[in-house]
Structure 1
Amino acid sequence: MLEMLRKYRTPLLVICLLMTALLIYSSRLRKQPQTTLFEKAILQLASPLQRGFSTSMRSLTGLWQHYLWLIDTQRQNDRLLEENRRLQGQLDLVREFQLENQRLSALLSLRERLTIPTLPARVIAEDATSLFQTLIIDRGTEDGLHEGLPVVVPEGVVGRIIRCSARQSRVLLATDASSAMAVLVQRSRARGICRGRGQSLTLDFALLREDIATGDTIITSGNGGIFPKGLPVGTVSHTQTNDLDLFQTVTVTPAVNFSRLEEVLVMLDTVP
């Protein structure tokens, strides 16, 4: 195609110039009140060309207007997308404020129910590995904290402080293998010791004769000198008995979802 255009470039250019001159001349003749036979012949010859030219111009004009419309539509779409992103960001921020307000309201409600003074704190780091189950909070000795203080949330027991610096404290979670607390079964009042097992708890020293069933709620007994009585610890998820053993095997699911902790309450005193 390009070779053909190069080959016939001059004839094509001459034809285009002649057609252009013919169209210009015919347009001038249409404005004259009288025309000769020759001029009428020119007008008749140029009429199809002029109609084709007018049609082409209308098509080109329409295409150009459509192109401009598309450009304007694209700009409007870009503006709308940017506005949508901005509003979505604001909505996410509002939702986050609402969720935080719900959590803080629940902490405030728990704080009002407890008889022991408490201090709210934020979780700033976690270390829930296979070896240790701990987290870091943003309160320390400058805030009056010290080792051994219990940490709770509205759902139940979190753990106890095992190390303090000026502005931070490390909390040993109830699920850590070295954690133990005196508890009782809320329904039957059976007593035992809850120990951490990584992701779950076990109720140790529960005698075979004790009435313990799946679904029972485990709460702190108030013994042991750390946690006050009545705090939720977990729910019995499995029990097993063996006539040859003295104690039952009881598995407890923690009341607290330790992977989602953001704010906690530190109790500023322990049970005497």
Structure 2
Amino acid sequence: MPSYAGPAPARPADIAGTLRLLGYLALGVALIVLDHRGGWLKQIRGQAELVTQPLWWIAGLPGRIGNSVHDDAATRTRLSEDNRLLRNALLISGARLARLQSAADENERLRGLLGAVERGQLDVQLAPILNIDLDPTRQRLVLGAGSSAGVRMGQVVIDAGGVLGQIIEVKPLTSTVLLLTDPDHAIPASVARNGVRLVVYGRGGRLELANIPLSSDVKVGDSVVTSGLGGRFPAGFPIGTIAALRPDDSRAFLIGELSPAAQLDRGREVLLLRVDRAAPAPANAAAPASAEPKPVPPAPSGAPR
């Protein structure tokens, strides 16, 4: 057996490590004591935090950017949804406003019809417009009232402005109006200012005065009304206003362009006149609808017939 040689001798490296450890421990104890008494390490830590603060800010930048992008996306989505709801609400409000405006315009037209009836003390009936045909060669209206509602052939049709035309066809539930502007229509008229007798012709969408003598006292701006001649249209109802005068091809007569008094291209209702054709109507009243003429009383016996 080998003889006991005792503990191994310490190596220089172990001794140096032990000495360094003891030195570190002594330094740590000294720093703890000094910091506890003077607090100068606290100041060093504060300065170190100021130095490392930009590093912490840079380290947290990706997280903050991600949160900002998420918040912006959520805000954009919310704003987009709010804009969609607001656009829908705006469209609905616009539709309601347009409907209310249409109702207001229709009420205004109806008040105009009522005013014309009250001013002229006319016996009329209201008839709705079902269809309209404004072809240049065919100017007609189809009304939602027929023989079952008392509509008769030849009745005069008016609106709040003046004469529209006359009934040319009657069915049980509907009737057809020949407008003044139809090429087949002509109406005896006179100038309201001086009573000059004229004839108004339809020219497919417009009205025209033909064969006006050069010596006639007719001017642009004169109002033209029904003359009552022919017994179809009562006298004194507005037809239109002379907008222009020009000589015809022969240079012997004038031709007048007439602006219609009635609203031929708008409105939903018209009036059918039921008053006596023989009774004159005021010039500022709307066009009346014709009624049957009163019977002529028999002549006394012995009187010439």
State the TM-score, normalizing by the size of structure 1. Answer: 0.75
Name segments (4+ residues, structure 1) moved above 6 Å: 46-50
Cα distance in 2 between the residues matched to 1:200 and 1:77: 49
In structure 2, what residue type is equivalent to 1:101? N
For residues 228-268 of structure 1, what are the alpha-carbon distances to aligned partners after superposition, in whole Å with 9 as ceiling and x for unaligned? 222111112333458x7775433322223422232211112
Tell me how far 1:88 sits from its aligned partner: 1.3
Greater shift, 206-215 or 79-88, is seen at 206-215
Does residue 192 of structure 2 align to residue 186 of structure 1?
yes
Does residue 224 of structure 2 align to residue 224 of structure 1?
no
Cα distance in 1 between the residues matched to 2:244 and 2:88: 53
Cα distance in 2 between the residues matched to 1:238 and 1:49: 90
Does residue 105 of structure 2 align to residue 99 of structure 1?
yes
State the TM-score, normalizing by the size of structure 2. Answer: 0.68
Identity score, percent: 29
For residues 99-157 of structure 1, what are the alpha-carbon distances to aligned partners after superposition, in whole Å with 9 as ceiling and x for unaligned? 11100000111122234411112222111112211111111111100110000111111
Does residue 96 of structure 2 align to residue 111 of structure 1?
no
Instruction: Compare the two structures and name the one with the higher helix fraction.
Output: 1
Cα distance in 1 between the residues matched to 2:192 and 2:244: 16
Matches within 5 A, 1:12-27: none
In structure 1, what residue type is equivalent to 2:216? E
Report what 1:137 is aligned to: 143
Stretches of structure 1 that go unaligned for 5 or more consecutive residues are 1-45
Number of positions where the alignment pairs a residue of Structure 1 with one of Structure 2: 227
Of structures 1 and 2, the larger Rg is shown by: 2
Cα distance in 2 between the residues matched to 1:173 and 1:57: 80
Matches within 5 A, 1:149-228: 149-204=155-210, 206-228=212-234
In structure 2, what residue type is equivalent to 1:76? D
In structure 1, what residue type is equivalent to 2:197? R
Cα distance in 1 between the residues matched to 2:179 and 2:266: 13
CA RMSD of aligned residues (A): 2.5
Stretches of structure 2 that go unaligned for 5 or more consecutive residues are 1-51, 278-292, 294-305
Matches within 5 A, 1:121-136: 121-136=127-142
